[in-house]
Structure 1
Amino acid sequence: MSEHHNHSHDHHHRKEDDHNGHHDHGNHHDHMVEDFKKRFWISILITIPILILSPMIQMLINVDWRFSFDMYILFGLSTVIFFYGGWPFITGAKDELAGKNPGMMTLIALAIVVAYVYSSFAVFGLEGNNFFWELATLIDIMLLGHWIEMRSVMGASRALEELVKLMPSEAHLIDSDGNIRDVSLEKVEHGDRVLVKPGEKVPGDGEIVEGKSAIDESMLTGESVPVDKEKGNEVIGGSINGEGSLTIKVQKTGGDTYLSQVITLVKEAQESKSKTQDLSNRAAKWLFYLALGSGVTTFIVWLALGYSLSFAMERMVTVMVISCPHALGLAAPLVIAVSTAISARKGLLIRNRTNFEGARKIDAIVFDKTGTLTEGQFGVTNVDVSEGWDEAGVLTLATSVETQSEHPIAKGIVREGEKRELSIKSIKDFESITGKGLKANIEGKEIMVVSPGYMKDEGIRYNESSFKEWSNEGKTVVFVLVHHELAGMIALADIVRETAKAAIQELKGMGIESIMLTGDNRQVANYVAERLGIDQTYAEVLPHQKSDKIIEIQQSGKKVAMTGDGVNDAPALAKADLGIAIGTGTDVAIETADVVLVKSNPQDVVNLIKLSQGTYRKMIQNLWWAAGYNIIAIPLAAGIFFNADIVLSPAVGAVLMSLSTVIVAINAKLLKID
């Protein structure tokens, strides 16, 4: 009956948990951390009198504080610590054994149960020393370890809460009459206009419609220098406004904002369990069998050699207590905690830990070109002027005309004009000639910015060798005419990212091949590939063919990572062994990737692979430190060098164990990427 009742109670709980979702999960975790912390401190307090009462400790410090019934008090205190401090491990072991999968908890439980039972018998008549002080210190160390481990996991969830706090709770809403009133953030809707005063946080993702200021986005993008923003620029919710006042038109609120998406990603990353962490559980499983096997063998061998039952028992207990290396429980979690912190600081959001840990095996990286290796926007690369003209004059006319157009080429020319701080002239009679270009009147002169097609149709002559050279590099060329005469020609191309070249060189040094995959035409692709030193280029690839190309590269026996930012990259990102999305990319790309780079910096791809290699290396080192301690300690505890008078006392065993735990913790902290 009671079993049935428990079962239904558990079922009810689970439903409630599902209903309350993440929030409940967070609280539950908080509660567990607090619980371990409380158990640890109370156990430490009880340990002090246990140490004072223990005959073995008194012997060590050469005192005699024995009195009648002192062993019963010692037994009482140890019973409290066993059931109170040891309870999480005993219940954990029960769950592991029920699942026929002994691991960390079973190993710890074995050690404390053996120590407790043996020592209790020693108090009530069995000949031999009691291990109560060993039991107490073991429980203390284990509780401490689990508390640290859970805190490191919590540290990552704390990062989430810190992210949530980045959002302000109120916004200054501007109504249709221009009046300002303060409303809570939930009331702000898409399309609303809000005022952001100097020093305040931006309440949501949006576009500046009035004002200019420098905005600190470091918490969100890792960009350390405040970014100058003005009318027409986008701002991210949660970033901090500098000196100026801004009016913002809100485009995304609530769960759609960049910040909320980051929070969701971090949450997913935490919930995807690490593969290497399972590695430490597997190690614990083997150590459990080893402890049991060695203990029993030790017992039988000493009895067979004619030693007393109590001596054989003491050796067996020492072996079983010692073979529980606490360092093992910390080996993986500490490295994961450090690696998660580094990745967040470097602007790498890990969504899928298993694939991230596999990144160390990558031997080919496929880059999408536009927006990843290049900035995804046109920039002026060359200007060629006719006699009597200079670059500034030609660009001033072109910029003045192009300010009226929304075309990417127009924007590229205007950006160049702004960069050179050219003064824009006022224009009249602006008109767009479909497929040919633009026309306007500046200071009584007819100015045109036209395409090569128009020049051909009108038979106007221009420098054909320059034109040919630029076209072969995949650049777009426009011509500036004044009263139908050529003043100059301007070449534009998608700007290559400065950081891309260094990243590709570094990948080469690591023995990783760089491949470019783009829908753009072959000339443009080859020009970019040449500038960057890319090994292999696939151009004019249609969106649905991108994932096929990934499969093709995988079939040649390579482990492939794909880096992209667009909707068309999503299937390829999902197909690759490691999908890396650029943070400025589309939501779809981000949703399908294993890792998101907050800054659109190809250098971060290198950092990512280095971090994956470093994380794995540290975990393996730590597992060796933890298990290696056992390889030495178990034979010593079993008394293999007994004849040479070398027997590992439980006290030395405990010190060794603490030492291996400290080494593992320090080793994890040393993880870094240059």
Structure 2
Amino acid sequence: MHEKHEDHHKHTGHVHKHEKHHEHPHKPEEHHHKPSEDHKGHDHAAHIEEFKKRFIVSVILTVPVLLLSEMIQRWFGFSITIPFQKWVLLLLSSVIYFYGGYPFLKGLISEIKNRQPGMMTLIGTAISVAFFYSAFTVFVGFGKEFFWELATLIDVMLLGHYIEAKSVLGASRALEELVKIMPTTAHLIKGEEIVDVKVSDLKKGDVVLVKPGEKIPSDGIVIEGESYVNEALLTGESKPVLKKRGSKVIGGSINQEGVLRVKIEKTGEETYLSQVIKLVKQAQESKSRTQDLANKTAAALFYIAMAVGIITYTVWFFIETPDFALERAVTVLVIACPHALGLAVPLVVAISTSMTAKNGILIRDRRAFEQAKDLNAVIFDKTGTLTEGKFGVTDIVSFIDEDELLQLSMSIERNSEHIIAKAITNYAKEKGIKPLDVKDYKTIPGKGAFGVVDGKQVYVGSPNLLKEFGIEIEDERIKRLQEEGKTVVFVVIDGQLSGAFALSDRIKPESYEAVKQLKEMGVKVFMLTGDAEEVARSVSQELGIDDYFAQVLPHEKAQKVELLKNQGYKVGMVGDGINDAPALVTADVGIAIGAGTDVAIESADVILVKSNPADVPKVIKISRMTFSKMVQNLWWAAGYNIVAIPLAAGVLYNYGIVIQPAVGAILMSISTVIVSLNSQTLKLSKV
């Protein structure tokens, strides 16, 4: 029954994630342009130049349009007249309209085809109404043309799109810049000689020499040498990491002081950096819920603007002149153009994605990452996540000087290969204790080990050893350690119980901080473990965890996640991504921890490169900050319309307040600048 359950979860889990990650991009409707981001649905790099070129040509042509416009001449008190002035204006404006306005007209057609009117429809409608009405006035010989308003509106729009494309591209390229800093040459060791080759020519199994201060050319394993390596740019690990024989190294990290010989294990697309860039691109391209909101806002604004525009035109047509009525209607359309709306979400997505990646947090599923802001329960797998997954000394009870107890015990235990003996020896080494010589060393099967150290008879062993000596345990501290399910090792010196060591899987120092931060953020913390009740209780009490599930078999982990979800919790599951896969899939947000250089974990939504549980509150914090920035941006982008549209319609005309179409374009551009600056402040946020 259990096996079936596990298979079912693994199977459904896998399908579920594939739906999550691979189906979306292939939905037919997603091949169309998204309503408010037609202009960014293409490749930005190619279009930045295109916008720039169109902008420059339009600005050059706008200068004579402004100089020949009656309104501008009247405002600035000068006069220029040339033959066929109106026709020249029409000709220049036609080039600006068709050439400069092309991206907006194309976007309008695309949005109308998809029945998803948005920003491009608004801009396209505004410039088309202005152009065709102005052309009509030239042909019939009366009426007020809008050539200068049309030209400046298109200029401002092109500039806005250029800034936007550049901003989004700049933020999403932050990670790709890492590729550029990858070394281009490597010192390949061929027998006795060292040859400089291109990094792109390296193959698996090649051995390269990395000198101090050089970058490691590709992912591999150290086969000789010892050095500290700086991985800060790649994994977010601020301290240089010690690398010695057998250590894995990442291409692009900087070797500091020693000489290393590295055997190449991964090249090209397989390398850690390539995988990260792939994930980052995938995350930036995946649609976010907030983007849907931006699209809906753009569509709503289009309908509002069209309705207000028609009403405005009709009302002013009867009160004032047709010219004035049209000017008001065009201004309504111009002001309503939520240009900044196209930027509100993508820019934040780009910045937050590069921010998380620099913190060693990789996002596979954008929507799940956005859900992280709502998490109110986080379940940690115990072994290897909250604990080190290694046996170690956690407590010492000493009836003699503690250093002496450690020295005598270490002297005996260093002769043994047993896991407990190694743990005690390592602990003493960490404390800087040096062993003494041992005479008459022998192991006592099932009980421990014996030796004479410094003239003292020293026994180190299990509770069976105490039975042999007839010693009763009376110390409350030792009794408590045994109740906690820890392995207790006793030290008997010259027939007297002199102390005891408690050993268990050691808690990571960062786990305390992780639990504390999550609780401060109002998130309940749970722990899952296959260990016995006593061990689970002891660890959860020490960390201050809200609740725990003990003796849980791997395939039952997903059931526990389901249990909390059924209680109304939004659940984040943190595990190692191997036997935790079904649970990661079942959770609202699955977080794989300690992926190291293996970032292609299918079952997780978020991948933490380091084995640091304190990165979990970071994920939630960045998700919350990102969402609040997006909402702020949407208000800056579209909120000003609450005031601007009525003003554009002329509700305060009697008080002498009238907004010109060009002023409308400037106002709208200011909101774009505010959105850009507001997005950039995300970089300054403390995580």
TM-score computed with the length of structure 2 as normaliser: 0.84
Whether 2:79 is the aligned partner of 1:64: answer yes
CA positional deviation for 1:240: 0.8
Whether 2:210 is the aligned partner of 1:199: answer no
Q: Which amino acid aligns with 1:104?
A: M
Say whether the 8 Å CA contact 1:567–1:588 is kept in structure 2. no
CA positional deviation for 1:544: 0.8
Corresponding residue for 2:391? 378
Moved more, 327-336 or 255-264: 255-264
CA positional deviation for 1:131: 2.0
Whether 2:98 is the aligned partner of 1:83: answer yes
Higher relative contact order (CA 8 A, sep 6+): 2
CA positional deviation for 1:35: 1.9
Number of aligned residue pairs: 644
* 1:357-368 equivalent positions in 2, closer than 5 A: 357-368=370-381
Corresponding residue for 1:155? 170
Say whether the 8 Å CA contact 1:566–1:585 is kept in structure 2. no
Say whether the 8 Å CA contact 1:566–1:589 is kept in structure 2. no
Whether 2:613 is the aligned partner of 1:602: answer yes
Corresponding residue for 1:649? 660
Cα gap change, 1:509/1:157 in structure 2, threshold over 3 Å: closer, same or farther? closer
Corresponding residue for 2:229? 215
Corresponding residue for 1:263? 277
CA–CA distance in structure 1, aligned partners of residues 262 and 449 of structure 2: 32
Q: Can you list the C-alpha shifts for 1:436-469, whole angstroms capped at 9, x where unaligned?
A: 77899999999886555x6378667575645432
- Give the alignment partner of residue 674 of structure 2, picking from 656, 659, 663: 663
The runs of 5 or more residues in structure 2 that have no matched partner are: 1-39
Cα gap change, 1:331/1:192 in structure 2, threshold over 3 Å: closer, same or farther? closer
Q: Which amino acid aligns with 1:608?
A: V
Say whether the 8 Å CA contact 1:379–1:412 is kept in structure 2. yes
* 1:87-486 equivalent positions in 2, closer than 5 A: 87-125=102-140, 127-174=142-189, 179-185=193-199, 188=202, 192-303=206-317, 305=318, 307-384=320-397, 390-397=404-411, 400-402=414-416, 407=419, 409=420, 412-423=423-434, 450-452=461-463, 455=465, 461=471, 463=473, 465=475, 466-479=477-490
CA–CA distance in structure 1, aligned partners of residues 108 and 679 of structure 2: 27
Q: Can you list the C-alpha shifts for 1:285-327, whole angstroms capped at 9, x where unaligned?
A: 1111122212222222233x35433333333223223321322
CA positional deviation for 1:537: 0.8
Moved more, 572-581 or 625-634: 625-634
Cα gap change, 1:598/1:42 in structure 2, threshold over 3 Å: closer, same or farther? farther
Corresponding residue for 2:534? 523
Cα gap change, 1:441/1:69 in structure 2, threshold over 3 Å: closer, same or farther? farther
- Give the alignment partner of residue 512 of structure 1, picking from 502, 523, 529: 523
Q: Which amino acid aligns with 1:376?
A: G
Say what the alpha-carbon RMSD is for the aligned residues.
3.5
CA positional deviation for 1:93: 1.7
Cα gap change, 1:170/1:441 in structure 2, threshold over 3 Å: closer, same or farther? farther
Cα gap change, 1:572/1:634 in structure 2, threshold over 3 Å: closer, same or farther? same
CA–CA distance in structure 2, aligned partners of residues 607 and 233 of structure 1: 27
Cα gap change, 1:302/1:507 in structure 2, threshold over 3 Å: closer, same or farther? same
The runs of 5 or more residues in structure 1 that have no matched partner are: 1-24
Say whether the 8 Å CA contact 2:531–2:550 is kept in structure 1. yes
Say whether the 8 Å CA contact 1:448–1:481 is kept in structure 2. yes
Whether 2:551 is the aligned partner of 1:540: answer yes
CA positional deviation for 1:244: 0.9
TM-score computed with the length of structure 1 as normaliser: 0.85
CA–CA distance in structure 1, aligned partners of residues 467 and 531 of structure 2: 27
CA positional deviation for 1:170: 4.0
Q: Can you list the C-alpha shifts for 1:51-92, whole angstroms capped at 9, x where unaligned?
A: 333222222223223333233232222222212221112112
CA positional deviation for 1:98: 0.9
Corresponding residue for 1:8? none
Corresponding residue for 1:54? 69
Cα gap change, 1:54/1:386 in structure 2, threshold over 3 Å: closer, same or farther? same
Say whether the 8 Å CA contact 1:114–1:321 is kept in structure 2. no
Corresponding residue for 1:18? none
Moved more, 381-390 or 44-53: 381-390
Say whether the 8 Å CA contact 1:134–1:654 is kept in structure 2. no
Corresponding residue for 1:549? 560
CA positional deviation for 1:254: 4.4
CA–CA distance in structure 2, aligned partners of residues 438 and 220 of structure 1: 47
CA positional deviation for 1:221: 1.8
CA–CA distance in structure 1, aligned partners of residues 331 and 637 of structure 2: 18
CA–CA distance in structure 2, aligned partners of residues 665 and 276 of structure 1: 17
Q: Secondary structure at the match of 2:414?
A: helix
Cα gap change, 1:569/1:433 in structure 2, threshold over 3 Å: closer, same or farther? farther
